[in-house]
Amino acid sequence: MKSKELNSKGFFDTQPISSESLLTGISCFNWQLDDFPVMSDEELNISERLMQGKRAERYFSEWLKRSEAYELMAENIQIIDDKQTLGEFDFIVKRLQDGQLIHVELVHKYYLFDPEAKGTEFEHWIGPNRGDQLDFKLDKLRSHQFPLLQTQPARKRLAELGLNVDEMAQQLLFLANLFVPTEGQVAFEKVNQNGVEGTWMRLVEWQEKADSDDLFSIPEKKDWFSRNLATTEWYPKKIAQQKIKELHERKRSPLVYAKNEFGEQRRDFIVWW
């Protein structure tokens, strides 16, 4: 099995960021993944150039198509008014149990807990390159993405698809890979503790902690889904260190996989900031 065949499994293994809704009036999308088959990117005809966010949408779309609980009614619906794109709805589904129409937004993120950040718990969770923040994402969902459904352009577009906004509920599937610092106090209550996948550190700390007997891989972001890389390039510590430095010069924080002599793997972010 090639490493890219594991991408869909990595997606489905990702934990929801919380078991409870983080947005007032928006419930969590409930899905059951028992015995769901892993799908290769070749099977789904996914291009090597497709970005990670769109890959996540493809995996979820395929799950919906195979689901016995939901029917996929529409996906990636752009809302355009006077030649201006106002936004896009990820998925419209019908719950087969009762016929309920649901607008589902999918979010798939990587967040690092910064204990030095100020503010609420959500403000401590930042993107690997500090260009993203959990509270910013929640604000965007709260103030723009979900209210868009009630706008006239959205009503008109969905009506063209035979979908009545007034009969529609809204739900969020927010999946997150969480990473905590190797040292220091980490305290959070609203975010799912089981979502912690590994740690983050700076290069000087990685140089001290990384085992010289291990091998290291630095895959492209589109392959970050996997917890256990199969066929990929593995490097000794010295070469991996140089590749990390090159990415840091471009202000990119790589997700670095380490593999020991027993084949056991772990993954950690090595940040540039």
If one counts every other C-beta atom within 10 angstroms of the C-beta of residue 210, the result is: 20
Q: What is the pLDDT of residue 4?
A: 45
**Cα 202 to chain centroid, rounded:** 23
DSSP state of 136: H
State yes or no: pLDDT of 36 exceeds 80.
no
Q: What is the pLDDT of residues 66-101, one digit of tens each?
A: 999 999 999 999 999 999 999 999 999 999 999 999
* CA dist., res. 252 & res. 26, Å (int): 33
Sign of CA dihedral 42, 220, 65, 16: positive
Q: What is the mean pLDDT of the chain?
A: 94
Helix H or strand E encompassing 200: strand 196-202
Q: What is the pLDDT of residues 127-175, one digit of tens each?
A: 999 999 999 999 999 999 999 999 999 999 999 999 999 999 999 999 9
State yes or no: pLDDT of 2 exceeds 70.
no
Q: What is the pLDDT of residues 51-68, one digit of tens each?
A: 999 999 999 999 999 999
Sign of CA dihedral 263, 264, 268, 270: negative
Half-sphere exposure of 3 (CA within 13 A, CB side): 19
**DSSP reduced 3-state for 217:** strand
For the chain, what are the domain ranges?
A: 3-196, 199-271
Per-residue confidence band for 186, with pLDDT thresholds at 50, 70 and 90? confident
Q: What's the whole-number mean pLDDT along residues 183-203? A: 91
> Which of the residue ranges 64-68, 100-104, 249-253 would you say has the lowest mean pLDDT?
64-68
State yes or no: pLDDT of 236 exceeds 90.
yes
Q: What does R_g of the chain's alpha carbons equal in angstroms?
A: 20
* CA dist., res. 113 & res. 178, Å (int): 8
Beta-bridge partners for 217:
257
